[in-house]
Every structure is written in C-alpha cells, then in structure tokens.
Structure 1
Amino acid sequence: MRENEARPVVRTVRGSAHLAVAGLGLAGAAWALRAVWHIRLAMAGEPASGLPDQGEGRHRPLTALEDSYHLVSTAGDLLVLLCAALFIGWLWRMRDNARALSGERPRYAGIWVYASWIVPIVNLWFPRGIVADIHHKSAPDRKLPVVVNVWWALWLVGMVTGLGLTYDDSTDEIIARAYHGVTPLLVADLAVVGAAVAAILMVRTLTATQLVSHRRSVADAEW
C-alpha cells in the first residue's frame, strides 16, 4: 500500500448530473410543446388579416392562437436558458474531475466551455470535442459512447434547420413560417427534442463512467 500517495481531488458530480438531466427534460418538453403549437398554427392557416408582421413597422393585433404561441415560446426560451446553465455546470464539474483523474490539462481552455456554444463555426465541433475530451481523460481505456455522436448529430440538425439555441427569427417570423411551410419547423423540433433525450442518456452514461474510474483510482491508491 502506498499510503503517502495523494489521491485525485474529485468532487461529487451526481447532484449536478441530476440537475442537468432535469433541465434537459424540461427543455425537451418545452420544445415538444412548441411543435404542438406549430402544428396548430399550420392547421389554422394564415388569417384573412395577413401575417402578424405586415412590414414597414406595421403589426396587426395577434389572434388568440398567436398570442398563446408567444407565451409558449417565451416559456420555452426561459427553460432552455435554465437547461443551458445546468448542463454547463455539469460539464464544468466533469471537466475538473477528468483533469484530476488523468493529471492532464484539458484539451480546450476553460472559456470554451461557455463560448463554444455561441461562436460561429466553432460551435459546429468544439462542444462535442469538450465532451469527448472529458470522457477520454476520465476513462482512456473505453471508447466514446455512441450516444455522444447521436446527441451531437441531432443538435446539429436542429441548428442547421434554424431552431437551435442560436436561431435568429423573431416569434412573429416563426409564426409566418408555420403558416407557409411547417415541415422544416417540425424537423427542427423533432431534432431538438431528440437531442435533449440523447443528452440525458449521455449525462447519465458519462457520469457513471467517471464514477467508476474514480473508484478504481481510489482502489489503486490504496494498494
């Protein structure tokens, strides 16, 4: 037994993982609700009075359905922000633990844990790279779980189709899209909901893997 050898300083991650899973579940449910409203708008069709945004700074009064969509959209945006904060909190703690377990510096600087989601071009691969680096440093003898790639592929589909976390359309513009071509919206909705489900599985899988690696490191330090 090597009693004088210091153990890795690894913080508990279960609590932050539970919070991240809860946040992802709420965000996925919010996006599913948006999909329901997109279908309702498409089925109702454009009112005779035209689109909400009538150009040149003119806006007509919203219908009851359009007004309720604004509420659903706002609530969804707030839940997504909460989800992002909880997920990044989990990601940061996992990153610190991976460094403690491996004794190696993370591949990506700390600023990218936040900025990689919003910086154009970089947001196409850095977030996945951060997750993959955490897994590699936590369990170098294990392959990257398939669910990581599933999560990232679905997330990219949501971004490319224009309804990821960084979409630029206003709520009234999205209403117009629902009236005149709802299919791309529904594809994006399904991709984002699928990404949320895959992310839940990913959080659970990577957290469990890191906990196993920590137990092994403690056992090795005691013998």
Structure 2
Amino acid sequence: MPTYGVRGLAVAGASAVGAATLCYLLTALFPLVGVRMARSAAEQLDRDVLLGAVLAEVLFSVPYLLALLTAGTLVVIWTWRARKNLDAFPGAVPNLSPAWAIAGWLVPLANLVVPVRVLADLLRNSVWQRRQSWLVGVWWASWLVFLIGDRFVARAEQQRYDRLTELPRNDAEFATYVRFYEDALAPRLVPAVACLVAGIAFVVLVRRISAAQQDRLSRAVPVWPGQPVWPGRPGWPAPAAPMPVAPTSPQVPPTPGGTIGA
C-alpha cells in the first residue's frame, strides 16, 4: 500500500491554522478600534471617519480570509494523506473511506459530523491511546460553537447596522454608531473564545497524529548501507558464486567383506 509523509504538511497546516485563529481574534476585537473611531466622528461630526471605520474592518478581514483559505487547503490535503496511511498500517480499522477525508470538509451539513469522525479514526488508529479521544470531542464542540456562533453574530450585527442612519447629521445619530460598536464586542467574544480553543485543540491533534504516523513510517522503511542502485547499473553487487560441492565417490551396493561407499 502507498504511504505519504505527513510531517512537513502537518507543520505547514498547523502554522496556517494558528495564523487563521490569530487573524480571527483580531477581527473579533475590532469593535475596540471601531468605538474609538465612532467617538472621534461624533466629536467632529465627520462622516468620513465612520466610513474609515468600515474600511478598516474590511482590511482586518482580508488577512483572516487568506489565512483561512490556506489553512483549509492544507488541512484537507493532510487529512487525506493521513487517512490513506491507515490503509497501510496493520491492525488499523478505519470507519470511513479516504474519500470522506475530503468530502467531509466540503459537503454542507456533512461538515458538521464527518470531520470529527475522520479525526477520531486517525487518532485511534495512529496513536493507539484511547485516553486522548477527549481532545477530539473538545475540538468538535468548540468548532461547532465557532461556526454557529460566528454566523449568528454576523447576521445580528448586519441587522443592527441596517437600522442605523446612513448619513448621520447630528450628535444623536452619530451616537448610534458609538453604541453599535460598544454593543458589538460582547457577542463576538463567544465565537472568538471557541475559535481559540478549536485552533489549539486541532493543532495538538495534527501534531500528535502526524508524529505517530511518521514514526511508524520510519520504522517500516529499510535502512540501506548506501545509495540505492538499480540492477544492471555500475555498483550493483554481482551475484554470489555458487558454493563448491565436495566430490563424493559413487555409491556401490555392499558386498561381503567390503565397505559402504562414501
């Protein structure tokens, strides 16, 4: 069965997941910047400052989207390779086929259930320690809270933003933007904390699974004394000469007074 190295891909994927988590935390904390800009706009009655706050939040989101896309691509590839390696491990009994290692992340609704089953398969058949299965549950629970909470908060914020005055003219209308950013911080903390927990748990899982698989792969590769050489090329060892056979005298039937032939 073919096997795939996962150590380098695990390092890249874990780094991308960490970067995406950090970028999301920065976007979640943007109301701290937005409220300062809204107060400055209210003091100056300057709409351009409010527009600058909107553009600044968009700029905060761009690195997160890039990191998320990179992390998603690397994680899907790593999951597929790690799952394919299970087919070559004696004693491994995975519950899902390698196709689900890719489709499980991409198919709507299935991505709420399949990835946790794939990761549980990888952990159980790679590390062989059941006491670590709780880490998969922690990742899955925090991941669901992050996905659902982020969408809920984004939809609620959009509804509140649509009720604001598009072109504020007085102190009262500018003050509504200040309250908007003040009230936006607390709801964002829930998916932010869930994202942090999910990111840490997933990085730990990737590193442990990859280390266990790489250890098994390294112990299964034969160690050659030098560089491999193709048969027939210079350096290929010549076939060993046949061992000489000691001559023997022919066997003769025994006769009275004679000896047994050697």
Structure-1-length-normalised TM-score: 0.72
Q: Secondary structure at the match of 2:29?
A: helix
Structure 1 position 199 matched with structure 2 position 199: no
Counterpart check, 1:23 vs 2:28: no
Who is 2:188 aligned against? 185
Q: Structure 1: how far apart are the matches of 2:97 and 2:4? A: 20
Instruction: Please give the residue correspondences for 1:139-178 in structure 2 after superposition, counting only pairs within 5 Å.
Output: 139=127, 141-143=128-130, 145=132, 146-163=134-151, 169=154, 173=158, 176=161, 178=181
Q: 1:54 corresponds to which residue? A: none
The amino acid across from 1:36 in the alignment is L
In structure 2, what residue type is equivalent to 1:77?
Answer: L
Structure 2 match to 1:63: 51
Query: Cα–Cα, structure 1 residues 9 and 194, in superposed 2: closer, same or farther, change >3 Å?
Result: same
- Shift in Å at residue 79 of structure 1? 1.1
In 1: Cα distance, 2:112 partner to 2:150 partner: 14
Q: Distance in 2 between matches of 1:175 and 1:32?
A: 22
Aligned length: 196
Matches of 1:121 and 1:107, distance apart in 2:
19
Shift of 1:116: 2.2
State which drifts further: 142-151 or 199-208.
Answer: 142-151
1:138 equivalent to 2:126? Answer: yes
2:7 to 14, 19, 30: 14
1:73 lines up with 2:58 in the alignment: no
Distance in 1 of aligned mates of 2:101 and 2:50: 39
Does the Cα contact within 8 Å between 2:23 and 2:63 map onto a contact in 1? yes
Q: Aligned to 1:100, what secondary structure does the other structure show?
A: coil
**Alignment check: 8 A CA contact 1:16 1:86 kept:** yes
State the partner residue of 1:5: none
Return the letter of the residue paired with 1:75: P
Alignment check: 8 A CA contact 1:42 1:178 kept = yes
Match of 1:39 in 2: 32
**Is 1:100–2:93 an aligned residue pair?**
no
Q: Which runs of 5+ in 1 are unaligned?
A: 1-7, 49-59
Query: 1:11 deviation in Å?
Result: 2.2
**Quick one: structure 1 residues 187 and 12, their matched pair in 2 at CA, closer, same or farther if it must change by over 3 Å?**
same
Letter aligned with residue 96 of structure 2: Y
**Which whole-Å deviations, capped at 9, do the CAs of 1:192-216 have from their partners, x for residues lacking one?**
1221122111111111122334456
CA contact 1:132–1:144 (8 Å) conserved in 2: no
Aligned partner of 1:86 among 69, 74, 83: 74
**Helix, strand or coil at the partner of 1:90:** helix
Q: Can you give the 5+ residue segments of structure 2 that lack an aligned partner in the other structure?
A: 43-47, 162-179, 223-262
1:74, distance to aligned residue in structure 2 (A): 2.2
Q: Percent identity?
A: 28
Q: Which residue of 2 aligns with 1:3?
A: none
Distance 1:174 1:84 in 2: 29
Distance change (3 Å), C-alpha of 1:144 and 1:114: farther
Query: 1:45 & 1:118 partners in 2: Cα distance?
Result: 39
Structure ranking higher on relative contact order (CA contacts 8 Å, 6+ apart): 1
Task: Tell me by how many angstroms 1:89 deviates.
Answer: 1.4
**Contact 2:84–2:98, Cα closer than 8 Å, also in 1:** no
**Partner SS state of residue 63, structure 1:** helix
- The offset of 1:98, in angstroms, is 1.3
